[in-house]
Structure 1
Amino acid sequence: MASYSGDNKPSAPPAPDPEEPRVAYPYQPPNPSPYAPIAHTHSGSFGSGSSPQGYGYYHPPPTTNVYSSFPPGTHPDVIRSFQMVDTNQNGYIEEKELQQALSWNYQRFSPNTLRLLIFLFRDPRESSSIIGPKEFAAIWSCLGQWRAIFERFDRDRSGKIDAMELRDALYSLGYAVPPSVLQVLISRYDDGSRRPVELSFDSFIEGGMIVKGLTEKFKEKDTRYTGSATLTYETFMTMIIPFLVAD
């Protein structure tokens, strides 16, 4: 059975019908986040009434909340997962801590997958190896959406999807991957056993993040969303090499 089930997973909207025509080929303009903010309030406190006054009472200096950069409406479980692994409470986590935080609600991911997530979601103004609250919330939401898609196409509930299911899953996410590209992607997970290649959720995220990342980079050059662009050798290499390094 799949290892990604759980009662505390983020909800995700129903995936679009794979047969429904897309608005562009081979990809479409980015959609807004499918997650509506989850409203929550903080009420009550330990004790009641005004703060005690008088001799001997220490008034701590005001401090900056390092977690205030979470997007408004972020679910408390997401914030709590981040805080529990941010042991030095500096508002940033590294690869090992990200692994621990995600494993509580998703599963353990391979180092390749974690590096791709960090590479794609990190704040480019910060170190390449750290993730802040805003980026962590984005990773959490993305994984919630992609897991819902994976579960939808894992029809036999085996915890794996085959090549055709991968094609349909990526299509539902807005990526109409050509057959030749899909074959190259699938071959990455061929173990040489001559059995049909199947992808676990971890492999699906890794392969999907490669497709997502490279597509987003290409779309920067294909501003009219025609599926074609002219790239210099330098531009092409700077697009590809970060994904090879992350791997």
Structure 2
Amino acid sequence: MSYGGGYNPYQQQGYAPPPGAYPPQNAQVSPQAQQWFSMVDRDRSGKINSAELQAALVNGRGENFSDNACKLMISMFDSDASGTIDIFEFEKLYNYINQWLTTFKTYDRDGSGHIDSNELTQAFSQMGFRFSQEFIDFLVKKCDPATHKEVSVDQFIVLCVQVQRFTEAFRQRDTQQNGTITIGFEDFLTVAIGCSY
């Protein structure tokens, strides 16, 4: 599970999870996910929080994933809303991240560790979205306020998750399926706040 650096190589040996960290016998976690979990779980709590995830994930620029990206990914798989994930939730996150890395690499054809607005347009188009160039430029500027040119893998994951969440919320309210909705202020705030985390 790596892209332009992937996880930091902590390579700690002899990891023994605390009692209760694993559900009963029949539950299986892949050896690779177990290995990554032991490297990410720096405090040996049997749970991973967003700070531990952030310390382990590196984007194509050699920077750690953003705090926002890590909190978003933890929250997606945190079934008990504890702010942490166990090894079974981590395996789901691990697979999810690898799927996004594969998707990202498809559009990062030069292996630069980022995609530009044209590549982002292609990615969204492949996902079934037909966004205007102005909207794509807006997304790139939000991701890269300095140069307005590129989107890193962690930013790409956040964008895609947010677009998916907002799309689902929009579809629920688009009862006529005509691409427009009328929304009250509190409902709008509910959607905006709910889709952002």
User: Can you list the C-alpha shifts for 1:74-97, whole angstroms capped at 9, x where unaligned?
Assistant: 4221123224416344x4321122
* Distance in 2 of aligned mates of 1:220 and 1:201: 29
Residue in structure 1 matched with residue 155 of structure 2 by the alignment: 203
State the aligned residue count.
179
Trace 1:75-94 onto structure 2 (pairs within 5 A). Answer: 75-84=30-39, 85=41, 87-89=43-45, 91-94=46-49
The Cα of 1:144 is off from its aligned counterpart by 0.9
Q: Percent identity at matched positions?
A: 30
Which one has the largest radius of gyration? 1
Write 1 or 2 for the structure with the bigger share of helix: 2
Q: Pick the aligned partner of 2:107 from 150, 153, 158.
A: 153
Residue in structure 1 matched with residue 189 of structure 2 by the alignment: 237
Trace 1:214-225 onto structure 2 (pairs within 5 A). Answer: 214-222=166-174
Report 1 or 2 for greater relative contact order, CA contacts < 8 Å, sequence distance ≥ 6.
1
Q: Report SS of the residue matched to 2:21.
A: coil
Can you give the 5+ residue segments of structure 1 that lack an aligned partner in the other structure? Answer: 7-62
The Cα of 1:132 is off from its aligned counterpart by 3.0
Amino acid at match of 1:136: F
Matched, 1:96 2:51: yes
Matched, 1:164 2:118: yes
Residue in structure 2 matched with residue 187 of structure 1 by the alignment: 141
* Distance in 2 of aligned mates of 1:192 and 1:99: 22
Contact 1:120 1:213 (8 Å CA) reproduced: no
Can you give the 5+ residue segments of structure 2 that lack an aligned partner in the other structure? Answer: 8-17
Contact 2:56 2:64 (8 Å CA) reproduced: no
Return the TM-score normalized by structure 2: 0.71
* Distance in 1 of aligned mates of 2:177 and 2:85: 30
Matched, 1:213 2:165: yes
Return the TM-score normalized by structure 1: 0.58
